[in-house]
Structures are given as C-alpha cells and as structure tokens.
C-alpha cells in the first residue's frame, strides 16, 4: 500500500487524547476542508511495517470507495517519520465536530425524544452492519467513538483499529472505558462480531438510562475462561422498565436481545436492523 506524506495537512488544534494516541483537527491545504489526524506508531519487522498492519490499514482505506453515510471515511494514510525500530503513520479521517457523549451531555431535560433515539440507533446499526459485512469488528464501541454531525447524521469512528493500535495502546483507567465491553472480552474468552452488539445495547440503554441483566445461567458461562461463574454473587435480572421507563415494549425486546450474555445467542447487526422496533420507521421511509 503506497503511503504519501503529510505536508498538505496543517494541524489547527488538539481535539482529544484517547487510548490510541492524540487526535488533531487539521486543515487540508489542498481542499481547504477540516480533517482529523491520528498518529500511530508501529514496531518495524525486518522488512519494515508488519504485513498484518499494512493489510488492516489497506482494508480500512478500501472502505472509502463505498462512502457509507454512517462510517467515518479514512481519507489518506501517510508516513511522517521512520526509524530502524518504528514507523510513525498518520491516519487522515474526515472531521466531525462532536461525538455522541458530547451530544447527549448537551441535550436538555427530559432527554432525547424516543423517535430521535430510534433514528440514531438505526443509523448506528446500519454502519455497524456494513463493517461486519466487510469482516471488521469494532471492539471498542462507546459514545466517544460514535460521531454526530450538526444535521444529526451518525458516523462510526475508530473501527477496525484495535489490532492496528495494539502495539502502543495506553492501558490506563483514564483512557480505556470498560463499561461498554462485552462479557466475553472482559472474561478474556474468544470473541467476534457479537462483542459490538453488546456495546450497542449498552449505548442504546444509556440513550434512555442504564439497566441490569443479572447473573447469567450456568449453561451460558464460557468454558475457555479462568474466572468461574461461582465467583459472582447470585443476582436476578432486573426489569428493564424500572431503569428505562421511557422505552417501549419493542425497544425492551431489542435491548434484551443485544444484552444477551451468550454471544452465540445475541442478535446480529443485520437482524437488529430488521427488528420490529424499526418497523414503523421503515414503513414511513418507504
């Protein structure tokens, strides 16, 4: 994969520090538009950048051709510095002014209308289904990684980059949020695309309020983890209505299918998109 140089991007301001490094808002001197720059350091192999890293970034770059409305575009990749031991690469993304966390914090009481939550969730799942169809597991979905444009368009960011970033991930409590991580990730069990649906469920509930699912049954507990089920105190599932009183019956059904402990039984992004919860919306669009 050919990589250019970064002289055409002029940093304007630091806009965030995450688990994977500092993000800068910058101006593309060729187009005049704003972009987001993310610097990533890679340990070199004997032949330069590891093939796995090149493949991963190349896949993300190819997604640009689809121009999905609910996925942030990786517009450019360029090499900034290279030493014998490591290469610093800058990923250039389209810039969006706010994330879902900031959007929710700015929403005045009593919070988002139910129809707006439904519309945003549909966009969210549409972007996620697109990533999963292209064999990309996000692995770190949280409100900070979901961007919202001024017109209310939802865009997924930082997708597919967990492996790319793993060599320099800063594992500190300040930058790594565990609240949205699926049980199989926290238990260090095998995981795949269902991890993202658990995170979606957490975010869905947070757009209303938080909820509890109780201690899972013995048959759903993974066998490939060192932490036994008996290490947790017995706890019954709590009624969703008590914690999320604003959600309707179909919303509760969808939320519980997302927050299913066993990943093999958890709903997929494609199935969620076609859930009855969105039925009236689809009919309205048609």
Which whole number is the average pLDDT over 134-161?
A: 85
DSSP 3-state of 181? coil
Structural domains of the chain, count: 2
Angle at 130 between CA 126 and CA 131, to 5 degrees: 120
**Tokens (6 digits) for 89:** 């690469």
Identify whether 285 is part of a domain.
Answer: no
Average pLDDT (134-150) is 87
Least confident segment among 88-92, 97-101, 273-277: 88-92
The CATH number covering residue 159 comes to 1.10.510.10
Pick from 67, 94, 121: which residue ends a domain? Answer: 94
Please say if the pLDDT value at position 171 is more than 60. Answer: no
- Active-site residue set: 140
* pLDDT value, residue 68: 94
Do 243 and 198 belong to one domain? Answer: yes
Give the structural domain span for 18.
9-94
Residues 199 and 147 in one domain: yes
Verdict on whether the full-model pTM lies above 0.75: yes
Residue 173 lies in a domain: yes
Same domain, 27 and 102: no
15 & 89 share domain? yes
When pLDDT is averaged across residues 33-54 and rounded to a whole number, the result is: 74
Question: Between 175 and 81, whose confidence is greater?
Answer: 81
Same domain for 125 and 89: no
Could you tell me which of 264, 260, 250 has the C-alpha nearest to residue 121?
250
Q: Which helix (H) or strand (E) holds 25?
A: strand 21-28
In a domain, 1, yes or no: no
């Amino acid at each position: 994969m050919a990589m250019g140089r970064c002289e055409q991007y002029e940093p304007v301001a630091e806009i965030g520090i995450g688990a994977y490094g500092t993000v800068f808002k910058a101006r593309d001197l060729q187009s005049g538009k704003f972009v987001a720059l993310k610097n990533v350091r890679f340990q070199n192999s004997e032949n330069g950048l590891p093939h796995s890293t090149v493949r991963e970034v190349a896949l993300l770059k190819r997604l640009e051709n689809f121009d999905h409305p609910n996925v942030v575009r990786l517009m450019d990749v360029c090499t900034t510095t290279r030493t014998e031991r490591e290469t610093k690469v800058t990923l250039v993304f389209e810039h969006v002014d706010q994330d879902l966390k900031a959007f929710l914090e700015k929403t005045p009481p009593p919070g988002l209308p139910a129809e707006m939550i439904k519309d945003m969730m549909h966009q969210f799942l549409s972007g996620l289904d697109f990533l999963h169809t292209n064999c990309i597991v996000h692995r770190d979905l949280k409100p900070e990684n979901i961007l919202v444009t001024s017109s209310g368009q939802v865009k997924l960011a930082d997708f597919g980059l967990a492996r790319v970033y793993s060599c320099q991930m800063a594992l500190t409590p300040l930058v790594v949020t565990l609240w949205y991580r699926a049980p199989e990730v926290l238990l260090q069990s095998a995981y795949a695309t269902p991890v993202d649906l658990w995170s979606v469920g957490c975010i869905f509930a947070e757009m209303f309020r938080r909820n509890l699912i109780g201690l899972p049954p013995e048959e759903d507990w993974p066998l490939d983890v060192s932490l036994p089920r008996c290490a947790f105190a017995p706890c019954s599932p709590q009624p969703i209505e008590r914690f999320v009183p604003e959600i309707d019956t179909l919303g509760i059904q969808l939320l519980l299918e997302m927050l299913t402990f066993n990943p093999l039984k958890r709903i997929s992004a494609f199935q969620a998109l076609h859930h009855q919860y969105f039925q009236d919306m689809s009919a309205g669009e048609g």
